[in-house]
Amino acid sequence: MKKAEPQNWSLDTLFVHGGEYIRPMQQPGAPTIQPIYTSTTYLHPDTERLDQAFEENAAGAQSFVYARQGNPNTHALEHVLAKAEGGVGAVVMGSGMAALQGALLATGLAPGSTILVAQDLYGATASLLRTIFVPLGVKVVFKDLCCADAGEIIREEEPDVVLVETISNPLVKITDLDAISATAREVGATSIIDNTFATPYLVQPLAHGFDVVVHSITKYISGHGDATAGAVISSKNSFIQQMRTYAALLGPMLGPFESYLSMRGLKTLALRMERHCSNALQVARFLSTHAAVERVHYPGLECHPQHELANRLLRKGLYGGLLSFELKQQTREAAFRFMNELRLCLPVTTLGDIHSQVTYPAISSHRNITPEERRRSGITEGCIRLSVGIEDARDIIEDLDQALNAS
């Protein structure tokens, strides 16, 4: 019978076993997989212990009272994600967007505060800032933070919060984590990073000095295209405490079934990331030699301007499962023709699933920003994003080849 969770597991093992240590393992005949707890409320032996459970629950302990404030399934997922990212705690939520807005609110933003954000942030995150935070009196400054003088920009703007993504969308630029977090600390800003594309398997930004990590679990962590979820992880107890308070009051909690699916996905994250990354490298190499392709954006290619930075930051030999490329014919019609010809790769608006998926950013992730803003971010009319799945790389390449040749 297992008693205590070992502290020295590698991530692969943590993903597989980590959730087991916070369910009633000691019971004879305990299930190996955590059941789904649908109950909205939890019984305690007496009122004194119910009183105590309220206190423990508010502190994030394994003590449950009412489902909006957590249940065993969300707790297990939070436990593993906090460990995976090297944080002191995690709060899971109903979507990546809920996690992002929760993290931003928990920084204590108020009218007059400034958020400095990466220019090529995920489109909905940019819209969240413009639509919700700007009307509240928060100043939002968009800048290219993947450039060499990002530190200087942070010093100039003196923001209260810096928000970046580890790997940008759709041009897969890599953020210099150490440089950004160090300068953010220097000016007293809270640094938040969206680590959705890299996952903790490729890099753990808290170890590079970030205060807060956000995930859309919907993507690689759950990985099977059947759960919408998000997470916030921090190295600071006070931040996690604030997140719990917001989560309990605003109510964007993750349901038990989605928590279960996310945990089930997380168990195979290491295996999947290895395959996503090795497939993506093969596909990037293929595309970069194709006559119909103008340019490929993938940090695993030696010619990528940030190849060295990627080597320094990411797990050895792995560069992520996402790439983008530009067709020689830089028109929306050519992009649509190519996507319509695909037989294996799915034309959908997501990434990080087991299936290979293509997206045309101008009508999906970057739909709500102006064509001028897209151009400024380097997203051309011929730009297509590809989330490389875990199928046989030869089948993915064959599908891309036939669609490029036919369009």
Q: Give the binding site for ligand PLP (CB under 6 A).
A: 95-97, 122, 124, 165, 169, 194, 196, 216, 218, 228, 230
Q: Which residue, 194 or 211, has its beta carbon nearer to ligand PLP?
A: 194
Q: Which residue, 322 or 404, has its beta carbon nearer to ligand PLP?
A: 322
Kindly report the three-state secondary structure assignment for every residue of 338-405.
HHHHCCCCEECCCCCCCCCEEECHHHCCCCCCCHHHHHHCCCCCCEEEEECCCCCHHHHHHHHHHHHH
Active site residue 66: no
Q: Which tokens hold the place of 346?
A: 């799915």
Catalytic hit among 122, 246, 319, 360? 122
Active site residue 219: yes
State the sign of the Cα–Cα–Cα–Cα dihedral 286, 322, 325, 145: negative
**Minimum separation from the CB atom of position 258 to ligand PLP (A):** 10
Catalytic hit among 219, 244, 275, 315? 219
User: What is the Cα–Cα distance from 373 to 196, expressed in whole angstroms?
Assistant: 23
User: What is the Cα–Cα distance from 283 to 360, expressed in whole angstroms?
Assistant: 18
**Minimum separation from the CB atom of position 168 to ligand PLP (A):** 9
Q: Which tokens hold the place of 305?
A: 């301007």
H or E element that contains 312: helix 307-313
Cβ atoms of 124 and 365 closer than 8 Å: yes
Cβ atoms of 215 and 269 closer than 8 Å: no
Beta bridge partners of 139: 114
Widest distance between CA atoms in the chain: 73
Q: Which residue, 71 or 95, has its beta carbon nearer to ligand PLP?
A: 95
User: What is the Cα–Cα distance from 330 to 336, expressed in whole angstroms?
Assistant: 11
User: What is the Cα–Cα distance from 152 to 223, expressed in whole angstroms?
Assistant: 37
State the sign of the Cα–Cα–Cα–Cα dihedral 23, 27, 33, 36: negative
**Minimum separation from the CB atom of position 298 to ligand PLP (A):** 17
**Minimum separation from the CB atom of position 295 to ligand PLP (A):** 22
Q: Which residue, 22 or 212, has its beta carbon nearer to ligand PLP?
A: 212
Instruction: Give the DSSP per-residue string, 243-255.
Output: HHHHHHHH--BPP
Q: Which residue, 193 or 318, has its beta carbon nearer to ligand PLP?
A: 193
User: What is the Cα–Cα distance from 248 to 233, expressed in whole angstroms?
Assistant: 16
Packing angle, helices 256-266 and 72-85, rounded to 10 = 40
Catalytic hit among 194, 211, 353, 399? 194
Q: Which tokens hold the place of 227?
A: 């759960």
Active site residue 194: yes
| 196 φ/ψ angles, rounded to the nearest 5 degrees | -55, -45
**Minimum separation from the CB atom of position 365 to ligand PLP (A):** 6
Q: Which residue, 63 or 357, has its beta carbon nearer to ligand PLP?
A: 357
**Any idea how long the chain is?**
407
**Minimum separation from the CB atom of position 257 to ligand PLP (A):** 16
Active site residue 401: no
E-state strands within 75-160: 89-93, 114-118, 139-143
Q: Which residue, 106 or 393, has its beta carbon nearer to ligand PLP?
A: 106
Catalytic hit among 12, 66, 68, 236? 68
**Minimum separation from the CB atom of position 252 to ligand PLP (A):** 10
Give catalytic residue positions: 68, 122, 194, 219
